[in-house]
Amino acid sequence: MENLLNQEIEAFLPEVEVEKVVKGKIRVVVEPLFPGYVFIRLEEDNPLWGKIRSTRGLKDFVRFGGQPASIPVKVIEQLRQTSTLYSSRQRISQVPQKGQAVLLIGGAFSGLQAAFEISDGDSRAYVLLEVLGKTQRLQVDIQDLVVS
């Protein structure tokens, strides 16, 4: 993105704030909405196409029939609005919600499914696990959970 902007090429990288567990703590991080993709605005006959192909960090264009894909301006504007909306008013959460199914990926119960109950601060959580026909409340590291 930076290299494109340095060449004065109009580019757009939609980003969103994402709640996720990082090193056992719930953090808000900014991530690309479409990892690995940047949108550029350039007319078909613009001589900068050759310059863009050799831009550091750019692998290739999304193509259909050998031609770079074209995205309608309305779609890009909607992405701009969505990106602004998520960064200023809402967050995408990768932290489980109460009752949501989770998979335990660490500890003695690794590989089992449970229901998320509540987070206990930044690094621990309680889940409900069905064991021998009974529901048991279990405290686990939040980093040992993934939404299933």
Q: Based on the domain organization, do 83 and 126 belong to the same domain?
A: no
Q: Based on the domain organization, do 82 and 109 belong to the same domain?
A: no
pTM beyond cutoff 0.85: no
**Overall domain count for the chain:** 2
Instruction: Give the domain extent around 62.
Output: 2-93
Q: For residue 116, give both structure tokens.
A: 């998320």
Mean pLDDT, the chain, whole residue set? 81
CATH code of the domain covering residue 35? 3.30.70.940
Tens-place pLDDT, residues 89-125: 445 556 678 898 988 887 778 888 999 988 776 677 8
What are the φ/ψ torsions at residue 84 (nearest 5 degrees)? -65, -40
> Which of 25-34, 62-71, 135-144 comes out lowest in average pLDDT?
25-34
Q: How much of the chain exceeds pLDDT 70, in percent? A: 89
Q: Based on the domain organization, do 19 and 89 belong to the same domain?
A: yes
Tens-place pLDDT, residues 65-97: 888 888 888 888 888 877 665 554 445 556 678
Q: For residue 69, give both structure tokens.
A: 């894909």
CATH code of the domain covering residue 113? 2.30.30.30
The H or E element that residue 76 is part of is helix 73-88
